[in-house]
Structure formats: C-alpha cells, structure tokens
Amino acid sequence: MARLAYLIEDRGINLDLPTPKDFSLKAQSPDYLYMPFLEKQGKGYQGYMTNFGKTCEPQIIWLEESIMGKSAKINRVRVPAARGGTIDVKKGQYICVLDIEGGQCTDFWAFDRKDFDHVMSPVHFFIDAMRIQPKVGDKIVTNRRVPIVTIVHDDVGWHDMLVPSCDNLRYEYHYGVKGHRNCCDNFHEAMSASGKDWGSRPVPHPFNIFMNTFVKGDGTLVLRVPTSMAGDRLIMQAEMDIIAAASSCPMDLNETGARGITDVELLVSDSLETLQNVKI
C-alpha cells in the first residue's frame, strides 16, 4: 500500500491506494462522481478521470507518491487540436506548455488574474530585453512593463513573438477560406468555457511557443516548419497570480502546421522538477 495524495480540483481528498498497475477507484466529489484509471509512471500514477451521468471531456490527473509526507501535484489541462484552454497559476508556481506529438505551434497568453487589462506583452519584452527571441532566464513583461512570467526551462530554444494570433480574416484574405478555426476564436471560446468574461477587449498579442519564424537581413519574415519534438516543453514561473490561456494553432495552410495539428497540454505545479520530468 503506497500513500498517495489524491486531489480532485483542489478539493483535497487524500486516500490510501493500492499499487497494482490496473485498478479503478470510485470517489465522490461535491459535484461529480469520477472514475480514475491509473497506471504506474515512475514515482507516481497517471490516469484519466471521467464523470458519470454528465457530459465532459476526460481530465488527466497525476498522483505522485508521498516523499517525507509531501506530494507534488500537477494540474493538467489538455488542449485539443485546433482548440483552446485556460488554467489558473498562482504566483511562484510553474506552468509548462507541453508539445505532445511535436511540431505544434501554441499561441500562449497570460494576464493578471485580478485585472484583465494587465496582460503579457511581447512588444514590451522586445525593448526590455533588447531582442526578439526569448531565452531561459528572461522575464516576460506586461503592457505595464511589470514581469509576469520568467522562462526557466526550454527544450526548443526558438519561438516567435512577432506574429499576431490568426483570426477568421487571416484565412479569408490570405487563403480564400471562410469559417476556418482560428486562435482568436479559440481564445474567446476557452475564456467563456471557463466562466471568464473577456468582454469586448481585443485578443492580446501572443507568445507563439514552438512557432518557427526567421527574419532575413532585408527584413523579410519567413515562416518555417516547427522543430519541436514529442515531449518538448517550455516552463515558466509566474511572477503574479495569473490566468494562462493557450490555443493549439489551427493553421494548416502554411509551414506553421506542416507537421499536422495536434493536442498540447498546460501543466501547473509548485515543483519545477516535477514538470521537467513528467511524462506525456
């Protein structure tokens, strides 16, 4: 019998669970009845939680064996291909953007949980860092020039901060395609689905994680095929309480999506090491 910390949406349910590889457990939460199917993964257990009697997408959970009476918990949100998602991050916590299959550009936004007009701003980062390509150790600032996240881990080392989020007009004007899924709509849908009222504010300029762009000497902007591989991740530490949003970019008409449009994950933990080592 291993002592595991079993938590459902921060409700703090702690149970002693048996360790065989294949087993199931029913647990009653205030809102739903869940069935997690768990599999041994290194020092912990990974599983998919679904509810009974209500329609919802399975939520991935991570249960880690207690060490010295403490547990490292991960909150995980799987962002489906060509869709969006959000997750809350407390000051000091780490947020990981994980490329599950590789080659997936991810539009990423972060903003002050208490003030939606206070947002991550790549253009302010440019002048703050005096470069357009972020690296480990950089603090990404807001439109008020306040640090909002610090990059602490980066498997790829090349991303984009120049390109705005794709919208319906991008596909219509440049490719003659109407009604294409796009990152701006994904942002609004994700915010609405999580009960956050973005109102009439414009979609902020994104940090395009895993996107591969290049500026030639004559100023020409070149879109290139992403180089991220399955399991690659970028991890940031929150410098304030934030809401993070991400879109698995639906762009499948140029090099940005040349390797296919696939799922990504957002993961939040108090432990950097846990996020560095968590499996897909």
Last residue of a domain, one of 29, 48, 71: 71
Q: Are residues 149 and 239 in the same domain?
A: yes
- The secondary structure of the chain in percent helix, strand, coil, rounded to multiples of 5, reads 15, 40, 50
Q: State how far the Cα of 179 lies from the Cα of 251, in Å rounded to an integer.
A: 13
- Alpha-carbon radius of gyration of the chain: 19
For residue 90, pLDDT over 50 is answered with yes
Q: Taking all residues of the chain, what is their mean pLDDT, rounded to a whole number? A: 82
Burial 167-187 (b: 16+ CB within 10 A, else e): beebbeeeeeeeebbbbbbbb
Q: Which residues contact 63 (CB under 8 A, 6 or more apart)?
A: 4, 5, 6, 17, 38, 44, 45, 46, 47
Q: Are residues 237 and 259 in the same domain?
A: yes
Q: Are residues 102 and 16 in the same domain?
A: no
Question: How many domains, the chain?
Answer: 2
CA 171 to chain centre: 24
Q: State how far the Cα of 250 lies from the Cα of 165, in Å rounded to an integer.
A: 10
Half-sphere exposure of 168 (CA within 13 A, CB side): 5
Q: Are residues 80 and 67 in the same domain?
A: no
Structural domain of residue 239, as residue ranges?
76-277
Last residue of a domain, one of 45, 71, 97: 71
Q: Are residues 51 and 133 in the same domain?
A: no
Reported as a pLDDT band with limits 50, 70 and 90, residue 74 is very high
Q: Are residues 52 and 141 in the same domain?
A: no
Q: Are residues 99 and 19 in the same domain?
A: no
Q: Are residues 228 and 272 in the same domain?
A: yes
**Dihedral in degrees, nearest 10, Cα atoms 144, 233, 171, 87:** -60
Contact between 106 and 249 under an 8 Å Cβ cutoff? The reply is: yes
Last residue of a domain, one of 71, 99, 121: 71
Q: Are residues 168 and 33 in the same domain?
A: no
Q: Are residues 93 and 61 in the same domain?
A: no
238: its two tokens:
């929150």
pLDDT per residue over 143-156, tens digit each? 999 999 999 999 99
What pLDDT score does 42 carry?
A: 52
Q: Are residues 144 and 203 in the same domain?
A: yes
Phi, psi (degrees; rounded to nearest 5) at 243? -110, 130
Q: Are residues 60 and 147 in the same domain?
A: no
What pLDDT score does 280 carry?
A: 85
pLDDT per residue over 220-277, tens digit each? 999 999 999 999 999 999 999 999 999 999 999 999 999 999 999 999 999 999 999 9
